[in-house]
Chains A and B, each alone.
Chain A
């Protein structure tokens, strides 16, 4: 344990209970608040001072229990068991007490120094749910503090309770599992009790884990000298309990714990029947409607694009002008210093042209991220997942796969990582295969660039159509795979729907800034590096005109451009941009900036007119469709390789996506020409 802090406190809870918001409030850390299950996937630390004490706060992944079924559960229980924090704060959503208390029971059984923070009591009261907190604290044997994270109320009291050493004593509350289970438990405890390394307070929990066939608990005893004896006793006990309890021990124990929780609820909760519908229920009548749900979602996304474009136009123009001025200033400065044309071109065309043309999109991306953060934090994004889940079920697809797909809108890498929540390898593979079709944030600058030049009046509609096309392709391809490759799919999934709420201003800003900053960072690293490399390819061999067909980039592009000619963009610059775009899709914009930089006045301004010479509105749309669907970036392929553990599937994704992209772009371009576009 860290010694530089006075206290280490673990923050645990189900997803969507306000745990991460509390973490942000206390530490000011940049942590995203999401609304779908399992969004908090990593252990996050932050520090703050309270009443002269330095507290290290650890935000643990959102989990529903501490069984070892998911990685979130494993991370949380490992932290509490192995790192032994001085206190564990369990944030509970008062509206869903039953479900939340399952974890409380686990934490009590683990012997955690526990404090329960009851959040969203106001919303529970609005629903007619009244909780007797004093009684709840008494029955659980741990302090229960009412907090309101959104309004920053009750937080100081919570911290004072956490700081009190006596409040952090272990609960004496015990769940009685009935004679049969208790007898079997006792047999295992007796074997373990001779081991001085196992603390007394952990014995019952560990033995319960053995009966529940928890792999993590089994690993703790694997190397013990008495492991053979313990294993034999465990097997015998499980065999016995399976005949009297449940064949699935996990389910059997969950039922017993819920029995205890039911009793607890009856003692502590009173419900008034509300005649009217809550605001959430009224909004959900539309948001989750079978008829309105999907059109409303499409309309909201469309509105987000339109508003973002309108609001960011002037800021983008300002940055464009700024880079133009910088390019002119640097050109004259370098010539004043007597630098050669080569060096000047590297700095102006390569670096400023490449990076500048990407940074122009920062205002619009920032605006989009802001609106997306509002949608996520308000609870609406979870509704979109719900509506799409239902839609996908109708197509015979696994609805749970839509959550990684929504994550894929930000970046495909976390989308692919999120497929870990799917139970079977087949489900995971299917979700991984379709995830790259979800249009990630990196593709957005390409759309904005082309839509801005070729469809200035209808930017929002064009970009929106690409997002919808991505979703449709994912569904169609998923359906085909489901029909012909992955025929057996597993059980349905219940998507959690948190109540709507007004997002916190600070949370939304932090979230939007965090994503925007990552984009800026990428422009300063990956895009910069590739812009420089593309500049070299466009300048070599020595003596050729920069950005000419005779350059290495030109020769390379011309060699492959016939492949793209039937799609309407057979120019070599587009080919080079697409090839380098494999490293990161924003590089496509940087590549155009670098390659066309020389054809105008050496600034970012020349890009639009240069692109107009090589593209028509129709071919630009086909190009955007190709960018949407073709081989995902290197990072995504690496994630696929890691998650599937197979080169075969990685190469398959890289190949089949480029074939689909080519076919769809071909159909759009040639069909469009037939229609006279």
Chain B
């Protein structure tokens, strides 16, 4: 594998992993003032601000 490929594959993996963890874990540990929309992949609008 070329270096550029390794960087590309690693980057895609890291971004996907971070995003997935954020979406899966984030909603269960909301800080005060946060709402579920912050983590919603649909950029949801269903929770009151």
Does chain B have a CB within 8 A of A536? yes
Those of B7-38 within 8 Å (CB) of chain A: 8-9, 12-13, 15-17, 19-20, 23-24, 27-28, 30, 36
Contact digits for A327-363, partner B, Cβ 8 Å, 1 yes 0 no: 0000000000011101100100000000000000000
B30 cross-chain contacts in A, Cβ below 8 A? 642
Identify the closest chain A residue to B1 (Cβ): A340
Q: Which of A342, A411, A528, A583 contacts B42 (CB 8 A)?
A: A411
Query: Which of B8, B20, B41, B46 gathers the greatest number of chain A CB atoms within 10 Å?
Result: B41
Min Cβ gap A29→B in Å is 11
| Minimum distance in angstroms from A532 CB to a CB of chain B | 4
A414 close to B5 (CB less than 8 A): no
Q: Which residue of A lies closest to B40 (CB)?
A: A635
A232 at the B interface (CB under 8 A): no
Report yes or no: B9 in contact with A522, Cβ–Cβ below 8 A: no
What does DSSP make chain A's interface, helix, strand, loop or mixed? helix
A371-417 contacts to B (CB < 8 Å):
411, 413-414, 417
- Residues of chain A within 8 A (CB-CB) of B45 are 42
Residue numbers in A under 8 Å from B8 (CB-CB): 343
Contacting B48 at CB < 8 Å: which of A75, A532, A536, A638? Answer: A75
The answer on a CB contact under 8 Å between A530 and B16 is yes
Report chain A residues within 8 Å CB of B5: 339-340, 342-343
Considering only CB atoms, which chain A residue lies closest to B35 in the complex? A642
Contact present for A343 and B16 (CB under 8 Å): no
Quick check: is A634 within 8 A (CB to CB) of the other chain?
yes
Q: Does A43 count as interface, using CB distance less than 8 angstroms?
A: yes
B6 to chain A, nearest CB (A): 9
B36 touches which of A43, A532, A642 (Cβ 8 Å): A642
**What are the residues of chain B within 8 A of A424 when measuring CB–CB?**
none
Decide: B36 and A634 in contact? CB cutoff 8 A: no
**Chain A residues with Cβ under 8 A from B49's Cβ?**
42-43
Interface size (B, Cβ < 8 Å)?
29
> From residue B8, how far is it (CB to closest CB) to chain A in Å?
7
Interface size on A, residues (CB 8 A): 35
The answer to whether residues A634 and B9 also contact, given A340-B1, A526-B41 and a CB cut-off of 8 A, is no
Complex Cα–Cα for A340 and B2 (A): 8
Interface contact B43-A638, CB-CB below 8 Å: no
A18 within 8 A of B: no
Chain A's nearest CB lies how many Å from the CB of B45? 6
B1 touches A634 (CB 8 A): no
Question: Within 8 Å CB of B28, what residues of A?
Answer: 637-638, 641
Interface presence of A98 (CB below 8 A): no
Chain A 521-545 interface mask (CB, 8 Å, partner B; 1/0): 1100110111011001000000000
Taking a contact as CB atoms under 8 Å apart, the answer to whether B27 and A635 are in contact is: yes
Contact partner of A634 (CB less than 8 A), chosen from B16, B23, B43, is B23
Closest chain-A Cβ to B42's Cβ sits at a distance in Å of 5
Q: Which residues of B contact A343 (CB under 8 A)?
A: 1, 5, 8-9
B43 to A, closest residue via Cβ: A521
Residues from chain A with Cβ under 8 Å of B16 in the complex: 528-530, 532-533
Decide: B9 and A413 in contact? CB cutoff 8 A. Answer: no
Asked whether A518 lies within 8 Å of B12 as measured between CB atoms, the reply is no
Cβ contact of B43, chosen from A71, A518, A528, cutoff 8 A: A518
* A639, CB-defined interface residue at 8 Å: yes
Within the assembled complex, what's the spacing in Å between the Cα atoms of A43 and B49?
8
| A97 at the B interface (CB under 8 A) | no
- A521-B42, A529-B16, A533-B16 known; A583+B24 contact, CB < 8 A: yes
| B23/A413 in contact, CB under 8 A | no
Q: Inside 8 A of A529's CB, which chain B residues have their CB? A: 15-17, 19-20, 23
C-alpha gap A532/B16 in the complex (Å): 7
Q: Is A584 interfacial (CB-CB < 8 Å)?
A: yes
The answer on a CB contact under 8 Å between B42 and A518 is: yes
Closest residue on chain A to residue B27 by CB atoms: A638
Does A155 touch B at the CB level, under 8 Å?
Answer: no
Distance between Cα atoms of A639 and B41 in the complex (Å): 14
Whole-angstrom distance between the alpha carbons of A584 and B16 in the complex? 15
Assess the B27–A634 pair: CB atoms within 8 A: yes
User: Of B9, B13, B36, which is within 8 A of A639 by CB?
Assistant: B36
Return A77 CB to nearest CB of chain B, in Å.
14
A634-B46 in contact (CB<8A): no
| CB < 8 Å neighbour of A525 from B41, B44, B47 | B41
Of the candidates A43, A411, A525, A536, the one whose C-beta lies within 8 Å of that of B46 is: A411
Q: Which residues of B contact A411 (CB under 8 A)?
A: 42, 44, 46
- With a cutoff of 8 Å between Cβ atoms, the chain B residues found around residue A521 in the complex are 41-43
Query: In the complex, are the beta carbons of B36 and A635 less than 8 A apart?
Result: yes
| Shortest Cβ distance from residue B33 to the other chain A in the assembled complex, whole angstroms | 13
Extra 10 A-B pairs, beta carbons < 8 Å, given A526-B19, A533-B16, A583-B23: A42-B45, A75-B48, A346-B9, A413-B36, A413-B40, A522-B42, A529-B16, A634-B27, A635-B44, A642-B27
Q: Would you list 13 pairs from A and B whose C-beta atoms are within 8 A, ordered by A residue?
A: A339-B2, A343-B1, A343-B5, A411-B46, A529-B16, A530-B20, A532-B12, A532-B13, A533-B16, A536-B13, A583-B24, A635-B23, A641-B28
